[in-house]
Chain A
Amino acid sequence: MREHTLQVNHLQIAFRTGNGLVQAVRDISFRLEKGRTLAIVGESGSGKSVTSRAIMGLLAPNAVVEGGEILYKGKDLLKMSEKELCKLRGDKIAMIFQDPMSALDPIMPIGKQIAEAMVINGKLSPADAKNKALRLMEEVGIRNAKSRYGKYPFEFSGGMRQRIVIAIALAADPEILICDEPTTALDVTIQAQILELINKLKEERHLSVIFITHDLGVVANVADDIAVMYAGKIVERGTAEDIFYDPRHPYTWALLTAMPDLETTGKLQAIPGAPPNMLHPPAGDAFAPRNPYAMEIDFEEQPPMFEISPTHAAATWLLHPNAPKVALPKALAARIERMGQIGG
């Protein structure tokens, strides 16, 4: 039986805006298992960042939590006081953002920035904190840590800075690491190094990782489990194998079909239409207007999560026992076939 560290149940978050309430996260549930990486993928604006910020207790002031719970060790993070949350953030749950520069203080030496996190949160003396900071710098692959301890952020390249941000995040020995597009601004070689680092830390420290990205190559690299989001809902979840080789939701199909890989020729398959207006989310499956396989009921009633296997579920009426059998789109079937042949 797998152990889970975090469980999100029926989370609902909206934002107050001049035009009314934007329904950003609409009843999502998932669990994060110990020592595994959950990748969250999906349409831009589907609620990925809002979900992760809710876990961190860092929602914008105009956010309204309309329901649900986020359980960590049996306690609901949404009911904790700011003080308790603050302790948890510095201690058990850490987050890495997309832009490493904005996460670092430009006028403080980087070694001090790493050590400071430990002096503030832990009971470490400044000398012990410095030693631990040096060890962390080595651990994230910054060579000659001693001579670089006193250097400033601008003296490091983008990839190095992101490693420093990771070192700061690890300073308090977190159990959960949340990464929101941590490599989008980096070139592929540096990206590969950062992914290797996160994978290594996950193994060595039994970290649980939530990894948000729109690059499906990156997902294939880091993910043990995947949640696919569309319009504030998780429309499909499963292991990486389930989602890449046996996708079931038409949105997941469209997503997998749209990405070019190194073998792609011919026209790319964009998804026609636009995502719904989240001021007035539709009654049925929000993807229905863009879904060539949509049935009448998709427009009328929200599909429940249909379980496909103990690890795999999707919210589409196509999985209802009475639904007509629909074959996978040809281009996607061919791609999965190709993947299966090379891999395996």
Chain B
Amino acid sequence: MLEVRHFTQVFGKFKAVDDISFSVKKGEVFGLVGESGCGKTTTGRAIVGLQPVTEGKILFAGKPIRKKHPTTQIQMIFQDPMASLDGRMTVREIIAEGLRIKGIKDRKILDEKVYEMMALVGLSREQASRYPHEFSGGQRQRIGIARALIMEPKLLIADEPVSALDVSIQAQVINLLQDLKEKLGLTVLFIAHDLSVVKYFSDRIGVMYMGKLVELAESEELFQNPLHPYTKSLLSAVPIPDPRREKNRVRIPYEPACSDPAAAFREVTPGRWVMS
């Protein structure tokens, strides 16, 4: 479905993403985790065609992503819901915009579709004529989700879709994505800080560190048996919602050795990759 091959992104002199490769199968949820600033959002933006790729190839259904004519089959939920919603548009206009660009003009058909999506993400149709600032953080996030899903994408890039939400709304959004995955065979690239959520939702997980992919494994396997020292450090830092255990948790710090020029991303067992 999605193939990222030797993708590198340079901003000025700064290599934000440095030669990463992975592929995502149809109907799969691929989790992307790692230190803040390691290049997760940059990778997501390149996949939806929001920035020209410096080096490497990104293939969607076998064809390269083009910046000029990005496909509507890939949609992105943005990290910051407020910044990504136009404050002067009503929720109805925001959600319908993609369809209108696609050429659907009939008001009735548009409204019908908008209401259907709003219901799907747990918003009521009375809220359609309101503006983004009149919604809570969690509701805004769901507007962004409705706007992405109305396009019936094959691939969804979800960049921190739940980090601003309280646990109950977080559960609603994850359940919704889970349903869509089961019903529509949606493929998801899921970017998040909260590793409990990533583990729960993802089939496979890629771990990034400073622009590089350092480990890739099945979700369960990664948590059971992390190989790369950065992954070990990351997992040991996840807070446990249980005071007695949490107060005795031992964190493993990661002190990167000088970067080894011979290090490469290697497949150690089938489907299990690690930088070594």
Q: Which residues of A contact B (CB under 8 A)?
A: 42-45, 157-159, 184-192, 195-196, 214-221, 223, 240-241, 244, 254-256, 258-262, 264-265, 267-271, 339, 342-344
Contacts and interface: CB of A to CB of B under 8 A. Distances in A.
B239 A44 contact: no
Given A158-B37, A189-B254, A268-B200, A43 B241 contact: no
Contact of B241 (A45, A184, A220, A344): A220
Given A255-B168, A264-B196, A221 B247 contact: yes
Contacts of A258: 167-168, 170-171
A223 B241 CA distance: 11
Contact of B37 (A157, A241, A268): A157
A220 B166 contact: no
Contacts of B234: 187-189
A195 B36 CA distance: 17
A268 B239 contact: no
A192 to B, nearest CB: 4
Given A43-B168, A185-B36, A259-B167, A240 B243 contact: yes
Q: Which of A195, A217, A223 has the most CB of B within 10 A?
A: A217
Contacts of B36: 157-159, 185-187, 190
Given A189-B237, A268-B175, A342 B245 contact: yes
B110 interface: no
Interface range on chain B (Cβ under 8 Å from partner) = 35 or more
A214 B167 contact: yes
Contacts of A261: 196, 240-242
Given A157-B37, A184-B163, A262 B171 contact: no
5 contacts: A186-B193, A188-B234, A217-B246, A342-B242, A343-B248
Given A44-B138, A189-B35, A344-B244, A184 B237 contact: no
B193 A220 contact: no
A192 B247 CA distance: 12
A196 B236 CA distance: 14
A158 B170 CA distance: 24
